[in-house]
Structure 1
């Protein structure tokens, strides 16, 4: 295979590699941008929380979320640098291949020029032509000389193209190195920010550990409110079961259809608030500060911004609105066999028995004395509590 063809294959290979690398890099940059936007949201929540009272559980949750986001951001930056390292390595390989191709092309061209100089001698050319044994052979030799001349021109063009490609790759590698140096600086800054966040987290934990008595008092009040909420949900589930037993066939079919539609939207439901993060997950988990204390959550707590609007995740009917001390208002919406619970509202925009639609605003989130704005969100199928994060789309 000629050096020209090898050069063409090398350039084609590079183009394919760069296309894949660019796709991966674009995805990482998109993820990084999304993470930066989430960081801005969390910073606003953290700022609102720490303005009212420093060293609260809400502030600790926000700092923990920022640490997770910071770690994800650093991972994205490292991913970009890995791609750049691969690109630089691949560019170096192509540059070496192009340099070798250029050397071979020049060598071939020099040999062709030497042959051409000999052939350009008029006596040699005439001898070559007139020594043909037939007229057809004479024509073939004329064509050969024309093709040979054309080949020299193509070889010269190929040398120029490979030299240009080589120069382009050298410039490209310099661009990649500049990008990598910028990312290295960025990573150092983000690592420093991560260290500061971890120090802040440790400081808040140490401070909260000194307030064990208050934390236990707050926990007891929360448990009491949650027990009241659980009792309310149990009553509604029992009432709905009794109503279903008395329902007509037509009503039952409508319930089944709505339940089926709800199930089909698993993993696709919008979040009940536009901004925020999960501050307490579903199920049993350790208290963030108090050692040996286990918390059981039938849903998720979503820490959000002050006065954030709360939205219904799916069409349904408002089953109950209730006020619970220390927790605020609660709106419970039924969707066939399913219930969604929105607890921790300071204002309610709907009424019992009202039909509601997906993304309809149903209230405004409540902020406690520590300045923490947190929604308790739950999903039930009959009497079974479900993990909302499995049902909601990625936020």
Structure 2
């Protein structure tokens, strides 16, 4: 019985592990295939830019995007290899367990064959039955002989079934080892390509540095652009917070006046003195709330803010497909220090820019000839910059993944880059920790 429970437990555990492994493995393979397709698109685009013979900023940015994707692919392959190692260990343990079970079944079956051989004659069987003390014992011995034959057949079937299962697991183990070997080869190839592209990136950067400081000029332009985005975003948020505060304080004053009037009326009804009535009629001092409290003053705003926070790490990307070419935070390039308070995503020309969560459009602002759309989600705000056209307006309610407009292409570089920001009140957040893994 213990043996049966142990076997059942092993089978169930193995089924659950294989199901979880299949889901994780399929997801990792899907991600790896997606990255491979994006790398191929970038490779074709890079070959087109190389035909110009002169190094360009677009060339450099494509190389940066390729390097980022290749690093992501190597991480994905590493995760797949770790999963395969777990499966190999699990299957190896299963093979050993099944081998042990098979050896035990064969040993028991051999003992039964020996017993059956020694008692194979009809005379021995009859003597075994007739040697019983009474009729009940004779009946039990007769049933035992019948059950013994049936049990022997079941043991033979168990041996055959275990042998088949063992064969399946050995084949599965071999396939898994082959998959691991193939992934290790792919990993080495990607590392080699990564090294080549980093070298090429350095060469293109050096060539650009010789072309009258184009890189420095680009970084200065980015510095000015980031500063303008930051100013516009801060102004828009300050106006939104000020308006929310004005409304909240007006409502609080009206509520305080209503309560004071009710208190004065109650004091009169209780025949209190004029001084007590006057004291009761004074509105209470309004407690000053924080900006976050002001922005979540209504139940709807509080729920929206909590829902947005609850989807951290699962928000959809603001574009359908793209690669991050500049991460969040302070970085230094060509002697210029820039502070990117969002992320820059390289995407296709005219790509649809989408809301990452439901909310209300608070501003549509012109920034250096393109549009920035700001959406409020309770105490959180998202900003979408570098749109050539917009399809929403201030005050409009939007849903998750609703199109806000089309991405603009820089005529100087030929690139389409969308700048995306998330802020908690006025504090910039790293969008990477909020967006779902691509």
Q: Normalising by the residue count of structure 2, what TM-score does the alignment of the two structures yield?
A: 0.76
Question: Which residues of 2 match residues 159-198 of structure 1 at below 5 A?
Answer: 159-198=156-195
Question: Which residues of 2 match residues 310-329 of structure 1 at below 5 A?
Answer: 310-313=353-356, 314-324=358-368, 328-329=370-371
Q: Residues 360 and 92 (structure 1 numbering): CA distance in 2 closer, same or farther, change over 3 Å?
A: closer
Q: In the alignment, which residue of structure 1 is the partner of 2:347?
A: 304
Question: Which residues of 2 match residues 22-33 of structure 1 at below 5 A?
Answer: 22-26=18-22, 27-33=24-30
Q: In the alignment, which residue of structure 1 is the partner of 2:415?
A: 372
Q: Is the 8 A contact 1:322 1:331 kept in 2?
A: no
SS of the residue corresponding to residue 154 of structure 2 reads: helix
Cα distance between partner residues in 1 of 2:242 and 2:87: 64
Cα distance between partner residues in 2 of 1:49 and 1:261: 46
Question: Which 10-residue stretch deviates more, 183-192 or 242-251?
Answer: 242-251
Task: Give the drift of 1:214.
Answer: 1.0
Cα distance between partner residues in 2 of 1:345 and 1:139: 94
Q: Residues 364 and 253 (structure 1 numbering): CA distance in 2 closer, same or farther, change over 3 Å?
A: closer
Q: Is the 8 A contact 1:379 1:388 kept in 2?
A: yes
Considering only aligned residues, what root-mean-square deviation do their CA atoms show, in Å? 3.1
Q: In the alignment, which residue of structure 1 is the partner of 2:398?
A: 356
Query: Is 1:278 aligned to residue 336 of structure 2?
Result: no
Q: Normalising by the residue count of structure 1, what TM-score does the alignment of the two structures yield?
A: 0.83
SS of the residue corresponding to residue 211 of structure 1 reads: helix
Q: Is the 8 A contact 1:303 1:375 kept in 2?
A: yes
Q: Residues 280 and 126 (structure 1 numbering): CA distance in 2 closer, same or farther, change over 3 Å?
A: closer
Q: Is the 8 A contact 1:275 1:304 kept in 2?
A: yes
Cα distance between partner residues in 1 of 2:355 and 2:126: 96
Q: Is the 8 A contact 1:46 1:62 kept in 2?
A: no
Q: Is the 8 A contact 2:365 2:372 kept in 1?
A: yes
Q: Residues 194 and 9 (structure 1 numbering): CA distance in 2 closer, same or farther, change over 3 Å?
A: same
Unaligned regions of 5+ residues in structure 2, if any?
A: 51-55, 255-293
SS of the residue corresponding to residue 104 of structure 1 reads: helix
Cα distance between partner residues in 1 of 2:326 and 2:86: 35
Q: In the alignment, which residue of structure 1 is the partner of 2:115?
A: 112
Question: Which residues of 2 match residues 206-217 of structure 1 at below 5 A?
Answer: 206-212=203-209, 213-217=213-217
Q: Residues 385 and 23 (structure 1 numbering): CA distance in 2 closer, same or farther, change over 3 Å?
A: same
Q: Is the 8 A contact 1:298 1:385 kept in 2?
A: yes
CA deviation map 1:245-289 (0-9, x unaligned): 5434299788644542342112143321122233322222344xx
Q: Residues 254 and 363 (structure 1 numbering): CA distance in 2 closer, same or farther, change over 3 Å?
A: same
Cα distance between partner residues in 1 of 2:94 and 2:304: 52
Q: Residues 124 and 281 (structure 1 numbering): CA distance in 2 closer, same or farther, change over 3 Å?
A: same
Query: Is 1:16 aligned to residue 19 of structure 2?
Result: no
Q: Residues 141 and 360 (structure 1 numbering): CA distance in 2 closer, same or farther, change over 3 Å?
A: same
Q: In the alignment, which residue of structure 1 is the partner of 2:152?
A: 155
